[in-house]
Amino acid sequence: MSYKQLKLENQLCHRLYMASNSITRAYREPLSQLNLTYPQYLVMLALWETDRITIAELTQKTSIDSGAMTQILKKMAEKELLLVIKDKDDRRKRFVMLSRSGKEMQEEASQIPEKIKCQFSSISPEQLTTLMSLLDLTINDLR
């Protein structure tokens, strides 16, 4: 007996999985020039948007698991890209802020989005906007 609904080619999840892996691979080379992993890049993007935020806010912004975030921040602090500082009033709360070198990296990183966009040669800018909207809907539905 054949179940069409179980064929790999009919699975949305598999397409999303392949797309996610392909995009992460596309970022690998430009990020290696900055000595960043993709999750570290997401942290930097969030901090370039809003510097000095709590770890909880950073976790929410990036959707990175809190356990993984702890390890990522530790490695990034070792690279001297950011600082993790305890709140004066609430010792349980920690803030993350960019170091000077973390701020300076933004200029070099500003070229990365355009490099990645160029790899989407068969997708028009309008289709890319639609794709992002559909993915936002998907993410919101599944949360």
Please give the average pLDDT of every successive group of 10 residues along the chain, which has 143 residues.
Answer: 88 94 95 97 98 96 96 98 90 92 97 90 92 94 92
**Closest to 34 (Cα-Cα) out of 89, 76, 96, 97:** 76
Give the span between the Cα atoms of 72 and 103, in whole angstroms.
17
Q: What confidence score (pLDDT) does residue 1 get?
A: 66
pTM over 0.75, yes/no: yes
Q: What confidence score (pLDDT) does residue 111 get?
A: 95
Q: What confidence score (pLDDT) does residue 28 get?
A: 95
For 17, phi and psi rounded to 5 degrees? -60, -50
CATH topology of domain 11-116: Arc Repressor Mutant, subunit A (1.10.10)
- The residue extents of the domains of the chain are 11-116
In three-state secondary structure terms, 99 is: coil
Q: Is 67 left (phi over 0), alpha (psi -120 to 50) or beta?
A: alpha
Residue 21 host element (H or E): helix 12-32
Task: Give the DSSP per-residue string, 38-70.
Answer: HHHHHHHHHHHHSSSEEHHHHHHHHT--HHHHH
Q: What confidence score (pLDDT) does residue 21 get?
A: 95
Q: What confidence score (pLDDT) does residue 120 get?
A: 86
